[in-house]
Amino acid sequence: MQTIQTLPLPMSKSVFKHLIPFPFSTITLESTTIIPTMPATVAQILAHYEYKPEQVERVAQRTIQPPITIVEPNPEWPKRFEEVKARIQKALGPLVLDVAHSGSTGVPGLPAKDIIDVDLTIKDATDEDSYVKPLEEAGFRFTLREPLWHQHRFFVEDWPGAYHVNMHVWGPDSPEAARHRIFRDWLLKTPSDLELYAKVKRQAAEQAAIAGDSMMDYTLRKDETIHEILARAFRDLGYIE
């Protein structure tokens, strides 16, 4: 066994300026072959997610459905995330490349559903044998996979008495994890968009309650505003004009 560092493919300066740099990751291999990896491109990050039920592979159902209710910011949310992060790191050890507090509970001052959203980046999201069992033993339920969406896997914590956790699992350099960071960072520095998003979240939750919507329906109700806010963030970063 030998642990080596993955390297980006050689590229011209004209191509490189359209790539998003990420930290190098390491992969343990049987041979000394260096596997090149490409960082996420701006085009990949700009591409909005399109929900396609036929591409979702359902592994298990939630045992408890969290309410679609927006509550005021809770100062305990960051502490809860750190507790979840510690459990993930203990369960997976060196497989973990990053654990990020994504979603609205990761933005101070933003009303949200009382759910801790997590982006977990690991060395290889396709290698389920390496992480599914350890995560389930740590209390997280594996509910679905979306191989065609950046090899996305999804876990929840929904046991009686536990606070709700939604965990997205990605491989290195995931464009979607990058989008989540960009959106969060923009809200942190843009009070007007934070206020706009809070308003839309409340409206979407109220409409979802009246219509009897699912969590995905609630999420889709916010899409137009999320895309609008992301466009401003992308423009600020120079990704679009």
For residue 191 the two structure tokens come to 């009070």
Calpha distance 121→59 (Å, rounded): 20
Domain ranges in the chain are 2-38, 53-237
- Model pTM score: 0.83
For residue 196 the two structure tokens come to 């706009």
Calpha distance 40→43 (Å, rounded): 8
Does 149 score more than 70 pLDDT?
yes
What is the structure's pLDDT at 38? 59
Distance, first Cα to last Cα, the chain? 47
Does 37 score more than 70 pLDDT?
no
Q: Of 156, 182, 186, whose CA–CA distance to 169 is shortest?
A: 156
Does 48 score more than 70 pLDDT?
yes
53-237 CATH fold: Beta Polymerase; domain 2 (3.30.460)
